Amino acid sequence: MENKVDYQKKALGHFRLSIIDAKLAYTLFKALYQSRSESIVGKELFEKYFWTQKQHNILVLIEHNAVDAFIVKILHGFDNDKRSLTLKDIDETEYEKFISDTKNKKVLDRIRTLRNKSTAHFNKDQKHKKELPPFKDIDSFFERLQNFYNKLSGNIEDSVTIFEQDKDLKRELEKMLKNLYVGEKINLLNIDVEWKWDKNPRKISGK
């Protein structure tokens, strides 16, 4: 039979991945969303980001799915369903302290409403507020959540996790958008050359 410590370690492993997945999904959504804000990236980059994303509708689907993944994954550790494994199963005292914090409660309540009424289910009335909490509130929530997780893992298995996978994701997204931009511009140039030069009956080589 599995002892308590082994059970807690297994649960920690699950929630480590859930937090990483949630942060990566949030980072992807946030980066795409903010790339379309001229006040954040400046006029020159805004035009490039916006134009590139207009050429590829799949990026809209990626952004929307990132939001849904974030909402679902971030609540894995805080599900009220008694059948669900939560961070409460690892340390109830520390869990209650975390969720009773006003800032944490505000973020979790808003995200839980979105999950219950728009993401996992779709309410008929749709009278709830449909926006995520402000980015600054989610960013600070992640900091507190990571500290909370590392406190639990430090107590149980004397370890900490550095949650910086989002930095690589942002670099990869930047590279992808840049490559898409260059590829589309080259494609347009090739089309221009083909129809206005190669297939132009007035080109000099045909005289």
Q: Where are the domains of the chain?
A: 4-170
Is residue 170 within a helix (H) or strand (E), and if so which, with residue range?
helix 165-193
pTM of the full structure: 0.90
Average pLDDT estimate for 51-57: 94
CB-based contact 28:169 (threshold 8 Å): yes
- Compute the distance between CA of residue 27 and CA of residue 21 in angstroms, rounded to an integer: 10
Closest CA to 29 of 62, 57, 74: 62
As a whole-number percent, the residues of the chain with pLDDT over 70 amount to: 94
Mean pLDDT of all residues belonging to the chain: 91
Task: Yes or no: say if 190 and 183 are a contact pair by the CB < 8 Å rule.
Answer: no
Q: How far apart are CA 55 and CA 40, in angstroms?
A: 21
Say if residue 121's pLDDT is above 70.
no
- Whether 62 has a pLDDT exceeding 60, the answer reads yes
Please give the pLDDT value at position 183. Answer: 96
Least confident of 21-30, 82-91, 94-103: 82-91
Report the pLDDT value the prediction gives residue 154, as an integer from 0 to 100: 94
- The C-alpha angle 101, 76, 174, rounded to 5 degrees, equals 95
Average pLDDT over residues 74-87: 88
Q: Note the pLDDT of residue 204.
A: 87
Which whole number is the average pLDDT over 72-86? 89
Q: Which residue has the higher pLDDT, 6 or 94?
A: 94
- Give the residue, 8 or 123, on which the prediction is more confident: 8
The pLDDT of residue 200 is 87
For residues 56 and 60, give the distance between their C-alpha atoms in angstroms, rounded to a whole number. 8
Residue 207 pLDDT: 74
Closest by CA position to 64, among listed 132, 152, 10, 164: 132
Mean pLDDT within 18-39: 97
Asked if pLDDT for residue 201 goes beyond 90, the answer is no
Q: How confident is the model at residue 122, as a pLDDT?
A: 67
Neighbours of 118 (CB within 10 A): 16
* Averaged pLDDT for residues 182-203: 92
Which tokens sit at 150?
A: 């590392």
What integer pLDDT is reported at residue 129 of this predicted model?
Answer: 65
Q: Where are the beta strands (DSSP E) in 11-90?
A: none
Which among 61, 56, 71, 57 has a CA at the least distance from the CA of 26? 71
